[in-house]
Amino acid sequence: MPTPILGFYSSVASLSAPALKILLNQRLKAGKEDERRLAERMGIPSKKRPSGRVFWLHAASVGEAQSALILINALLAANSDIHIVVTSGTLTSANLMESRLPDRAFHQFYPLDHPKWCESFLNHWQPDAVLWMESELWPNMLGAVKARRIPAVLVNARLSQRSFTRWSMAKGTVRDLLSAFTLILAQTPDDKTRFETLGHSHVVMSDNIKYSASPLPYNESALSALQAMTGSRPCWVYASTHDGEEALTCDTHKKLKETFPDALSIIVPRHPERRDAIADTVRAHGLSFALRSQSESIDEATDIYIADTLGELGLFYKLCPAAVIGRSFSNDGGGGHNPIEAAQFGCAVLSGPNIQYQTDLFTSMENENAVTILQDKSDLAPALLSLYENPEQLIAMQDNAKRFANDKAHVIDTVLHFLQSPFGLTA
């Protein structure tokens, strides 16, 4: 029997269809839903169920979807007899999945948590196994999965101290929710302890699947062309910049030039459509620049190279010995992007203090001297100067980052190993 809280939630949810439809229409008007596929949000699938075994993997949004893609590719490569239906709840994650899902995997929008919509979804897909990414828990769907005795695993599970404190206030209810999962694969020892304290008896620490992501792609001929233009100039890349970080790049560049007059700073903006604003910022600092989107060359007079194109970050990680992780110093206070991508290319990795979206990852890297976390914008120029004035220090940081990335690359193998028993899989 569900706890009183879950029983009350289910009763209220069963009456919520009119309100949920209003919510979906409001989201549609706000551009947050796909009109052609709105029925999927009400548990009405738009695709036929493939024959044979079907696994269902749920990844709430873009962050979880990126980790999910690693798992999806590994599962399909090792098991030729399965198909995977992938659900998420945002347009951005849906677009990502549609463009990157391999054969035998396809996307559907996750239905809102109405009991009948959940049943409709499960009746159609009849999943042989369920994988949920990280920590999003929907009571009615999990209750339906549990009632059908479908093997389910919470993968890449994480639980912050703040969430743990909140969940502990309803420990019995949370224990009931988590009991839908046959197994929980936690990212860190702390996550493992928190899930166990909440009452789950089968929790394993498997590490973060993000570590097993393939290195970003890059074009060899484009790399050769850039190497010919940059020669032996000391260069660094500020990767996936947000507002405020382009100005920091310019300030840092001016300080670097005092010691290295031929220094080259490269900006790869997170959103290339900001190119005009970025160009204005560079002009305001009295620096010269070249725009990659305009095929402008790097010459001796170029201070800043603005790589305002999509899908080329790997190229600049390969080109530059040092990389600063974007959004770690931004005006919005954000939270740093994925530092593993830079480490995989053997960059010396630097970051600002805003790492809240990747705290565990940055902390693990910092413990292995694979990243340097700076506390103030004024620390960036001295840190880069120190690297270029001390080649041995630069090489040591590069080696530490590369070693960390290599050591963590096999996390996906560990995850597949733990999935063998509950799902009858091949690792």
Q: What is the mean pLDDT of the chain?
A: 94
Please, what is the Cα angle at 106 between 103 and 107, to 5 degrees?
A: 155
Residue ranges in 80-219 assigned as alpha helix (H): 91-100, 115-125, 139-147, 161-168, 171-178, 189-197
* Predicted pLDDT of residue 194: 96
- Mean pLDDT of the region 203-227: 93
Q: Tokens 């549990």: give the residue.
A: 146
> Domain 220-408 belongs to what architecture?
3-Layer(aba) Sandwich (3.40)
Q: Output 338 or 334, whichever has higher pLDDT.
A: 338
Separation between Cα atoms, residue 292 and residue 28, nearest integer Å: 36
Residues 6+ apart with CB under 8 A from 293: 272, 275, 308, 309
* Predicted pLDDT of residue 336: 86
Nearest Cα neighbor of 316 from 267, 261, 246 is 267
Question: Looking at domain 4-206, which of 3.20.20.70, 3.40.50.11720, 3.40.190.120, 3.40.50.300 is its CATH number?
Answer: 3.40.50.11720
Q: Give yes or no for a contact between 361 and 63, defined as CB atoms under 8 angstroms apart.
A: no
Separation between Cα atoms, residue 8 and residue 32, nearest integer Å: 29
* Predicted pLDDT of residue 359: 83
| 220 classed as catalytic | no
* Predicted pLDDT of residue 281: 98
* Predicted pLDDT of residue 136: 79
Instruction: List, for residues 344-358, the tens digit of each pLDDT value.
Output: 999 999 999 999 878
Separation between Cα atoms, residue 255 and residue 233, nearest integer Å: 15
The H or E element containing residue 416 is helix 411-423
* Predicted pLDDT of residue 177: 94
The pTM (predicted TM-score) of the whole model is 0.79
Single-letter amino acid, residue 341: E
Give the SS3 label for residue 244: coil
Q: Read off the pLDDT band of 331 (50, 70, 90).
A: confident
- Mean pLDDT of the region 262-283: 96
Q: In the chain, list all ranges with CATH 3.40.50.11720.
A: 4-206
- Mean pLDDT of the region 155-183: 93
Q: Read off the pLDDT band of 1 (50, 70, 90).
A: low
Sheet holding 152-157, edge to edge: 105-109, 82-88, 53-58, 129-133, 152-157, 183-186, 203-205
Instruction: List, for residues 62-108, the tens digit of each pLDDT value.
Output: 778 888 999 999 999 999 999 999 999 999 889 888 888 999 999 99
Q: In the chain, list all ranges with CATH 3.40.50.2000.
A: 220-408
Q: Output 408 or 121, whichever has higher pLDDT.
A: 121
Is pLDDT at 17 greater than 60 in this prediction?
A: yes
Q: Read off the pLDDT band of 427 (50, 70, 90).
A: low
* Predicted pLDDT of residue 426: 63
Is pLDDT at 285 greater than 60 in this prediction?
A: yes
* Predicted pLDDT of residue 5: 87
Q: Which of 64, 245, 312, 341 is catalytic?
A: 64
